[in-house]
Amino acid sequence: MSRFNVSILIVLLCWSHLELAIRAQDVETTTLELETTTLDETTTLEPEIKIVEADLEDVDKNEEIEEIQMDPISGKRMYNQFQLFRAQPQTEEQLGIVRFIANGVQDLWSPVPANVTKGVSIDMLVGPKHAPYVAKFLKCSGVPYDIAIHDIQRAIEEENEVTDTVTRSANEEYRKTRSKRANLFTDLVRNLFGFETETSGTRYLRNRPRSVRQSRYFKSNQPQPALPTPGPVYYKPAQANESQSEPRPQSPIHSPSSSSSYPKSSSSSSSSSSSSSGQHLKVMEISQPKGSNKPAIWIDGGIHAREWISPASVTYMLSELVENSAYHQDLLSKYSFYIMPVMNPDGYEYTHTNDRLWRKARSPTHHSSCIGTDLNRNWGYKYGGKGASPNPCDETYRGPSAFSARETRAASYFILQRAHNMKMFLTFHSYGQYILYPWGYTANDEPSNWRDLHRIGQIGAQAMFKKNGHSYSVGSAAKLLYPAAGGSDDWAKGGAGIEYSYTIELPDAGRYGFLLPAIQIRNVTQEAFAGLEAMVNAL
């Protein structure tokens, strides 16, 4: 019996267990179409399971599979009894079954790969209503799986908890050195994110349910710096700019006329360099000495809203290069740095105020009830290919056109204006522990300098392992994981011509996923900086 027929048989045998509500009751139920194929004894066909969907105008994927749970006090979305299923298909047949199930689950934390890859798991967020059916179907189909997180809401609450012992020791160390630091890091973060009187952390404590124990909250995008020492580094807040036309290298990009030497920082506002909700898109320039024309390194984070460890790590890098410049002359003597801690400020804020697991930006779409573009599918190199959805209700919605999002348009202008002098492009994500290089849009091609890309990636992986013992896989995105067109790293390499371009997926390897506990922030941010330092020095 061919593998194709085996897949059909498994689906039919287990169909009664799969009662996923892929659409709301008033929407047509998805049907399974099995192609009729004539087989002979020598024919071998790959399994093919197709899901027939109605037109986008008739389907609202934003209509929740599960009833939305809202906290009556804070107004935040709750994920009580939601579970994270981790499937580990071992064969192509099992992969096809997981792909079929994934079409109906609440959310995919890790997309289904094109082929079975050893050690790769698929993480699926499943609500309490459908978790029993998914479990039965996976078991019936013979697909290995486990429950990685048994209660997502509890994991969200624990993400922000730190033990009293750690809190006391951290606070004691903080008090001892506070006068020496002169609030430099606090001022830096306030300048970046516009924090004033009430932070997301204090707002969380004020609104969190009483049932949650009142542990001290460490805000995840404010890692505590280790004894920062200010150095003579030129520090200049700049504004990424944009235009309504397609990006061109000669397009004017606004930078504030006001600049300063750290620690006294200043920035100016520009309405043309803002997100869809009007938040400024800030890029920090670090150079030594002032006005130097050295090769540059681009670093960004927070392109996906729910990946909190990303802006935390990038902000820590900024802090280290500015406050501890004397210890990083190996970097600052050779390169300037452009650092954008949060490319998706609207989505990032939304994860603090409304929905912790929001991924996309918050820009309106042509669909009445589906909001946001996946900013990492909206870049203009090989836009619209595999892994980028045309459906506004999907998590990987690519947008109506390349650079349709204000955030990607602004960042691309800023980079193109300086691309001739940029040596490396680094974008930080989570999770999985990967160092990925182009191409992401296809596994059938590779950059001419892929050996150098791989060599430097391996150096970064070794440095990060040495720091904390976390192992990183190195390779091209499409080959190591799955094809995903319209990514920023592909555009940096193929569109802007930056020689070395990487996406770094930070920890963890899957135990916590996006909900990395606050107690791990310091180690991961220091690990990320170790990788940065090693990779830049390897150029």
Q: Which DSSP category does 389 fall into?
A: B
- Compute the distance between CA of residue 327 and CA of residue 436 in angstroms, rounded to an integer: 28
Q: Give the DSSP H/E element, type plus range, for residue 425.
A: strand 422-430
CB-based contacts of 533, cutoff 8 Å, min separation 6: 328, 330, 331, 463
Segments in 486-520 forming alpha helices (H): 488-494
- Compute the distance between CA of residue 114 and CA of residue 88 in angstroms, rounded to an integer: 14
Residue 285 annotated in active site: no
Out of 157, 159, 505, 533, pick the active-site residue. 505
- Compute the distance between CA of residue 164 and CA of residue 208 in angstroms, rounded to an integer: 18
- Compute the distance between CA of residue 148 and CA of residue 124 in angstroms, rounded to an integer: 10
Task: Tell how many helices (H) and how many strands (E) occur in the chain.
Answer: 15, 17
- Compute the distance between CA of residue 360 and CA of residue 174 in angstroms, rounded to an integer: 35
- Compute the distance between CA of residue 108 and CA of residue 125 in angstroms, rounded to an integer: 6
Query: Could you give the angle at the alpha carbon of 372 between the alpha carbons of 123 and 106, nearest 5°?
Result: 30
The position carrying tokens 């160092």 is 435
- Compute the distance between CA of residue 31 and CA of residue 105 in angstroms, rounded to an integer: 15
332-369 as b/e, with b when 16 or more CB fall inside 10 Å? beebbbbbbbbbbbbbbbbbbeebbbbbbbbbebebee
Answer whether the bond into residue 174 is a cis peptide, omega within 30°: no
CB-based contacts of 358, cutoff 8 Å, min separation 6: 305, 306, 347, 350, 351, 372
Answer whether the bond into residue 58 is a cis peptide, omega within 30°: no
Q: Annotated active-site positions, please?
A: 505
